[in-house]
Amino acid sequence: MNAPAYQGIKDFILARIDSGEWGEGDQVPSENELARDFKVARMTVNRALRELTAEQVLTRVQGAGTFVARPKYESTLVAIRSISDEIVARGHRYRAEVLEIGAMPVDEALGIEIGVATRENVFHSRVLHLENDTPVQLEERWVNPAVAPEYALQDFTHITPNQYLVRVAPLQRVEYRIEALAPEGDTRVRLAMGDAEPCLVLHRRTWSRGLVASVANLWHPGSRYRFTGHF
């Protein structure tokens, strides 16, 4: 089944933003120009621009035109900051070990959370983050291939998954929760934790351009990590 005409216009605009051809503040073609180029009615173009504006990809200025917006995301208590940046900011040495990276089919629950059909493949990674060679976070992440199609090709010992996703999929919205949980055996071993020690687990879901970009569970040893924030 062919995609609707307005989706083709959205894809055209997003492709130029993704390639860097259009950057923040650049003006996009007018409704009349897009209608002429795509041979569609103005109302079709208007829908595409309205949806991209609602998704915070574009911003429309009355009497001036439509422009590429500055990437935004909803404010939360937990800053969207790479753990490598946190560690370096403390004056410590950062290192990562990639435990797993590839593709996997989702079950019904994960499919609903990430917005894909059951048994459809998404990217999956597990990365251990170390501070001065002490493990401080085990990151398990599921990534929507529609948002970051080259995710599994990255070397996450040189760039963190967070840094890569922020670069290729500008954050639009963030949802999270924090829980104290008992880790399973492999997680406990990887994080060098005692038998009775709990983990602080940050479960985070991010959106980019109207799609769920990734779902992540970030496991932290309770005795070696704390969350801070301010308004």
Please report the pLDDT score of residue 229 as a whole number: 56
Name the residue ranges covered by the structural domains of the chain.
5-68, 83-221
- Residue given tokens 């990590």 in the structure block: 225
Model-wide pTM > 0.75: no
**In the CATH hierarchy, which top-level class contains the domain 83-221?**
alpha beta
Contact assessment for residue 151 and residue 145, using Cβ atoms and an 8 Å cutoff: yes
Query: What are the start-end ranges of the H helices in 120-181?
Result: 161-168
User: pLDDT for 160-219, tens place per residue?
Assistant: 999 999 888 888 888 889 999 999 889 999 999 988 899 999 999 999 888 999 999 999
Letter string b/e over residues 194-210, b meaning 16 or more CB atoms within 10 A of that residue's CB: eeeebbbbbebbbbbbb
Which CATH architecture describes the domain 5-68? Orthogonal Bundle (1.10)
Please report the pLDDT score of residue 80 as a whole number: 67
What is the rounded distance in angstroms from the CA atom of residue 193 to the CA atom of residue 1? 52
